[in-house]
Amino acid sequence: MTELDLSYAGDPANFATGLQEALAEQPGHVHHGGPIETVRRDRYRGHEITIRTTYLIEVDGHPLGGHLSVGRSGDVQVHALPNYTFPSAVDMVRELIDVFPEGMGDGPPDHGGQHGHDHGGAR
């Protein structure tokens, strides 16, 4: 059994400092439009398998953007819907249209103040 003192974490005087430390440790990021490369990896009989796929997805002629990953099973996942997996990118786009109907087809926004990170795939 672990003795845990939660009193410091329950003191509002410490919240702002914690937020700013977290920001410094893990800066935010922003997703852009254009091609998305995913990296799918697996191990089989001592071999390392790497499959790189480039997606260029458009809705009404506008690039969808975002962050996709492809799992070992071939399932597609997207950052915007973290509890979903999809059998195909088409299924994923349909659900995105259902969940985020506003502005779909407008392309990605231009947000400042956040930084990029790698778009990789799931092992």
Among 44, 48, 54, 98, binds another protein (CB under 8 A): 98
Q: Is 62 a binder of another protein (CB under 8 A)?
A: no
Q: Is 79 a binder of another protein (CB under 8 A)?
A: yes
What is the rounded distance in angstroms from the CA atom of residue 120 to the CA atom of residue 80?
A: 15
What is the rounded distance in angstroms from the CA atom of residue 81 to the CA atom of residue 96?
A: 8
DSSP E strands in 31-108: the ranges are: 36-44, 47-55, 58-59, 62-63, 68-70, 76-78, 81-86
Among 30, 53, 55, 62, binds another protein (CB under 8 A): 30
Q: Could you give phi then psi for residue 17, rounded to 5 degrees?
A: -65, -40
Which residues of this protein are in contact with another protein, per CB under 8 A? Answer: 1-10, 12, 14-19, 21-23, 25-26, 28-31, 39, 43, 65-67, 69, 71-73, 75, 77-85, 95-96, 98-100, 104, 108-109, 111-114, 117-118, 120-123
